[in-house]
């Protein structure tokens, strides 16, 4: 379903105002305390942000990919940690259920995910399985009406707040065809969550190890058939990569605005540094790359909404946008000079925050492999 233009404009304006008036003033506090204030989380619930991509019939806003990308562009104009509060509910933590869940599973979980009552996490990465996601070693052994789940997952976003995990586990042969997907409530016996990791950036967005020790998962909690887990994960990541790419563009656009404002007021040699051509060149490069990334994201989103396969386009968008925002952030630090290295200005924080975009939901190198493989499949 597509929102009418007036409703979409109203939603975008609401998110834009929320970002400007409520989130940006709190960026420093969240960076220092490593926690998003509970009142902000509650406001996000009331706005429906936890259910952006959940179908209307299950209590969400039912946004299509193009609409979700435009919301993500707005959310990118503040610390990425804020978006991460509900990011797993919107993306990787819910979309496996949306795409492959039974009607019973959807009715049980999706309304509570959309409202933010249930926080979800996507448990794929392991100590020995990251980019090589088909090599997961967590095992799910069927015993009658349950699977016994045993293994360790690593760097799982929102794990310390999650009450439902989408877990990829091995039920069969080595490789992708032996991986299955499960809905695993955090309250089940044998589920353990480690302490949040100390990270380089994105303070306020927590990642933890998750362990499963002979956890009894009902057969009814399997997503799809045995052996379909890897395919489900890849479909989920196509959408997630586009969402992340849009956030990257939003952060880049915010950084460019900050740079332009600073360069217009910072004076050296008797005039604003914006007058110097080498500063202008950095601004021009940043603006051009951000515009290109925005166009790539929105074109890929349009193709997805039209029903076309977008594995190539999603990988290309995520690859280009995540690398682009890293370059934009680096130029921003350079233009701010010494101020860019000082915490009070916030530029160094965003510089650290955006580094993660080139790693999670598929590293840049994995995206390159996907783009090359899909290009060759299509005959160039």
Question: Which residues are catalytic, by number?
Answer: 361
Paired strand residues for 309: none
Residue 51's SS3 state is: helix
Beta strand pairing status for 207-218 and 267-268?
unpaired
What does each C-alpha distance from 257 to 20, 128, 293 come to in angstroms? 13, 41, 16
What does each C-alpha distance from 153 to 111, 137, 139, 277 come to in angstroms? 26, 9, 11, 49
Q: Measured between alpha carbons, how far is 325 from 357 in angstroms, rounded to an integer? A: 9
Alpha helices by DSSP H, listed for 116-228, are none
Tokens of 377: 């499949």
The angle subtended at Cα 350 by Cα 35 and Cα 262, nearest 5°, is 125
- The answer to whether 361 touches 240, Cβ cutoff 8 Å, is yes
- The answer to whether 330 touches 256, Cβ cutoff 8 Å, is no
String of DSSP letters for 347-371: HHHHHHHGGGGGTTTS-HHHHHHHH
Alpha helices by DSSP H, listed for the chain, are 5-18, 27-33, 38-47, 65-75, 80-90, 95-100, 103-115, 229-265, 277-305, 311-336, 347-353, 364-377
Contacts of 9 (CB under 8 A, 6+ apart): none
Q: Measured between alpha carbons, how far is 215 from 377 in angstroms, rounded to an integer? A: 40
């Amino acid at each position: 379903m597509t929102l009418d233009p007036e409703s979409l404009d109203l939603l975008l304006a609401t998110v834009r105002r929320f970002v400007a008036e409520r989130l940006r003033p709190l960026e420093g506090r969240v960076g220092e305390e490593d926690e998003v204030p509970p009142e902000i989380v509650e406001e996000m619930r009331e706005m429906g942000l936890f259910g952006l991509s959940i179908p209307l019939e299950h209590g969400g806003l039912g946004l299509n990919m193009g609409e979700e990308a435009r919301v993500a562009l707005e959310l990118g104009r503040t610390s990425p940690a804020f978006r991460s509060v509900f990011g797993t509910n919107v993306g990787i933590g819910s979309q496996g259920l949306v795409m492959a869940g039974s009607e019973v599973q959807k009715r049980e979980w999706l309304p509570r995910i959309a409202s933010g009552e249930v926080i979800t996490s996507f448990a794929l990465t392991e100590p020995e399985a990251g980019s090589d996601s088909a090599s997961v070693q967590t095992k799910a052994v069927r015993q009658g009406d349950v699977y016994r789940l045993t293994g360790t997952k690593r760097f799982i976003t929102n794990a310390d707040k999650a009450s439902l995990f989408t877990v990829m586990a091995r039920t069969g042969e080595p490789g992708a065809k032996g991986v299955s997907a499960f809905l695993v409530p955090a309250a089940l016996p044998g589920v353990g969550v480690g302490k949040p990791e100390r990270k380089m950036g994105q303070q306020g967005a927590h990642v933890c190890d998750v362990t499963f020790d002979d956890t009894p998962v009902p057969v009814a909690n399997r997503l799809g058939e045995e052996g379909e887990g890897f395919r489900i994960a890849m479909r989920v990541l196509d959408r997630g990569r586009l969402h992340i790419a849009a956030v990257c563009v939003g952060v880049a656009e915010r950084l460019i605005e900050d740079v332009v404002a600073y360069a217009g007021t910072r004076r050296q040699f008797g005039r604003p540094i914006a007058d110097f051509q080498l500063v202008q060149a950095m601004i021009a490069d940043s603006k051009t790359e951000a515009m290109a990334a925005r166009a790539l994201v929105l074109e890929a989103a349009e193709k997805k909404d039209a029903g076309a396969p977008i594995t190539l386009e999603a990988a290309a968008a995520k690859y280009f946008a995540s690398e682009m925002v890293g370059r934009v952030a680096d130029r921003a630090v350079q233009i701010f000079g010494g101020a860019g290295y000082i915490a009070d200005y916030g530029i160094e924080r965003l510089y650290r925050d955006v580094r993660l975009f080139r790693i999670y939901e598929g590293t840049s190198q994995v995206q390159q492999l996907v783009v090359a493989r899909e290009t060759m499949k299509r005959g160039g």
